[in-house]
Structures are given as structure tokens and as C-alpha cells.
Amino acid sequence: MKGKNVRDNQCLRNLKNQLQDPNNYLSSWIFANLTEGFICEFNGIEFWHPHENRVINIRLSNMGLQGQFPLSLENCTESLAQPSFRNHPF
């Protein structure tokens, strides 16, 4: 992975680590796989192209996620700047 993709990966990793996921919706967020497009398999993640790790949107509404609003999102690339957190107690 290079540049922006590495930052997107780190952003998602930080996001997952800061949230409580009682329904295991984020269980597909496995970061050991570094092949191109692996992020496209993550629940709640919309991607630019299935052969790249370029995230264009995060939609986590109605997943029952809990915790503080993740401050790590401030360090995300522009592609992650407008995630959907509707219906969350952040």
C-alpha cells in the first residue's frame, strides 16, 4: 500500500479500535490482509474501485456501535472526511 491508502488503512484501524461493536458488524475489518482491495470487503465501507483500497465513504449507521466519537477521524484523508454516524450515541 502507498500514501493515501496507508492513511485510510490507519484511519479505519483507529476507528475500529475506539468503538465498541456489540453486534460484531466490524468483524470483517481484518487488517492482516494487505492485498489491493481488501478494505472493500469491510462492512460499512464504500470504495472507489474494487481493485484499490481507496475509501470514498464510511456508513456505520444502525450498527449499534458505541463509544466516544473517534478523534482519529481528524487525521483521515479527505475521502474519509464525511462518514455517516447517524443513530449513534457518540
Q: What is the pLDDT of residues 13-42, one digit of tens each?
A: 888 998 999 999 999 999 887 777 788 889
Contacts of 47 (CB under 8 A, 6+ apart): 37, 39, 40, 53, 54, 55, 56
The model's pTM: 0.73
Where in the chain are the domains? 3-80
Please provide the CATH number assigned to the domain covering 3-80. Answer: 3.80.10.10
> What is the reported pLDDT for 81?
47
